A = this chain, B = another copy of it.
Amino acid sequence: MATVSRALNGRENVASGVRARVIDAAKELRYVPHHAARSLSSRRTRTIGVVLPDLHGEFFSELMRGIDQVAREHDLYLLVSSYHGHPEEQGVALRAMRGRVDGLLVMSPFVESTPLADDFDDAHPVVLINTGLTGIGLGTLRVDNHGGARGMVQHLAARGFRRIAFVAGPEGNFDAAERLRGYREALAEFLPDADPIVLPGAFDESSGHRAGQAIIAMAERPDAVFCANDMTALGCLFAFHQAGLRVPDDIALAGFDDIPLARYVHPSLTTIAVDIAELGGLALRALIAGTPLDSAPIAPHLVVRESTQRDTPPAPHGERRDSS
């Protein structure tokens, strides 16, 4: 019986003839190892828990794709769960994973950190994706939202835009806060005479639409709008279309994320791209390796498309035309 176990698990200390017979017999009998028994005894599940804020949208499917790919490479299983935007549900999801997984991949955009720690079992390694939390002994993988936003403002300034508005993301969202910080900082640096113009938004299309309408109604209208994410920018774009405003001739527009939509809308949207699948894959690799990786955040890059194209000559560097 032990020999069978060894043969099936590919251990070295089994005579090759015996191994072959075992494998044949297993196939013959359509034997399937009982996972629960195996992990009860070995105390490992070969399963990684993935807890995400939500399961819809390109962002999350890309993330899952990257994670799934690495999981297959390592013969790991993925137990997924989403908490639908509610922090409380995150705790529920997290606790439910305890005892079922060997490690946890958690994406938590909430700035509030305290409740999280309670839900983590000390026994599990955890990698946090894209979170502001640090110092609770967990790995953290994040995107340089701040630097990305700075890059966009720099691009807009180089293109000759002078009144650059920013449509913010939801309150209490770490990514949103970082992008706003990048905007303010870069504005002070590259256009010291310009006042920041910040409108509220919520990372979705409808809030972008409202922001767009508010912008149209402004006495001194901005000549460029930088939205905290692409969905918001799409809402803006829609509002501008409705009002007969031409983009980019009357007003330039830029987003953040490079969702697939960004390249298909008319005009195509200048944005900041993150390789999301790679992000997911890196997170899982880090979890497997047990590397701390608190080091450098992942640098997103500027993708210039039609929505910020004007007749002025393009800036000499720091930009990259969309290759597609």
The yes or no answer to A317 lying at the interface (CB within 8 A) is no
Q: Determine whether the beta carbon of B40 is less than 8 Å from that of A68.
A: no
**With A61-B60, A62-B56 in contact, do A33 and B68 touch (Cβ < 8 Å)?**
no
By a CB distance below 8 angstroms, the chain B residues around A261 are 260-261, 264
- Taking a contact as CB atoms closer than 8 A, the residue among B61, B100, B277 that contacts A57 in the complex is B61
Q: Determine whether the beta carbon of A78 is less than 8 Å from that of B80.
A: yes
- Taking a contact as CB atoms closer than 8 A, the residue among B55, B72, B238 that contacts A68 in the complex is B55
The yes or no answer to A188 lying at the interface (CB within 8 A) is no
Looking at the assembled complex, report how far the CB atom of A33 sits from the nearest CB atom of chain B, in whole angstroms. 6
* Contact mask for chain A residues 220-242; partner B; CB cutoff 8 A; 1 contact, 0 none: 00000000000000100010000
By a CB distance below 8 angstroms, the chain B residues around A81 are 68, 72, 77-78
Query: How many of chain A's residues touch chain B, expressed as a range?
Result: 35 or more
Q: Determine whether the beta carbon of A264 is less than 8 Å from that of B61.
A: no
By a CB distance below 8 angstroms, the chain B residues around A82 are 65, 68
By a CB distance below 8 angstroms, the chain B residues around A64 are 55-56, 61, 64, 80
Number of copies: 2
By a CB distance below 8 angstroms, the chain B residues around A65 are 54-56, 82
Looking at the assembled complex, report how far the CB atom of A87 sits from the nearest CB atom of chain B, in whole angstroms. 16
Expressed in whole angstroms, the Cα–Cα distance for A258 and B95 within the complex equals 36
The yes or no answer to A11 lying at the interface (CB within 8 A) is no
- Taking a contact as CB atoms closer than 8 A, the residue among B33, B56, B61, B264 that contacts A265 in the complex is B264
The yes or no answer to A98 lying at the interface (CB within 8 A) is yes
Q: Determine whether the beta carbon of A264 is less than 8 Å from that of B37.
A: no
In the complex, 15 of the A-B residue pairs with CB atoms within 8 angstroms, ordered by the A residue number, are A32-B99, A32-B121, A33-B99, A35-B36, A35-B99, A36-B36, A36-B40, A36-B45, A55-B61, A61-B61, A64-B64, A77-B79, A78-B81, A261-B261, A266-B266
Q: A residues engaging B (CB < 8 A)? A: 32-40, 45, 47, 54-58, 60-62, 64-65, 68-69, 72, 77-82, 84, 95-96, 98-100, 121, 234, 238, 260-261, 264-266, 277
> Which 6 A-B pairs rank lowest in CB-CB distance, beginning with the nearest?
A61-B61, A36-B40, A266-B266, A36-B39, A32-B98, A35-B100
Sample of 16 more A-B contacts, CB < 8 Å, known A57-B61, A61-B61: A32-B121, A34-B99, A35-B45, A35-B100, A36-B36, A36-B40, A56-B61, A56-B64, A58-B58, A68-B81, A77-B79, A78-B80, A79-B79, A80-B80, A234-B264, A265-B266
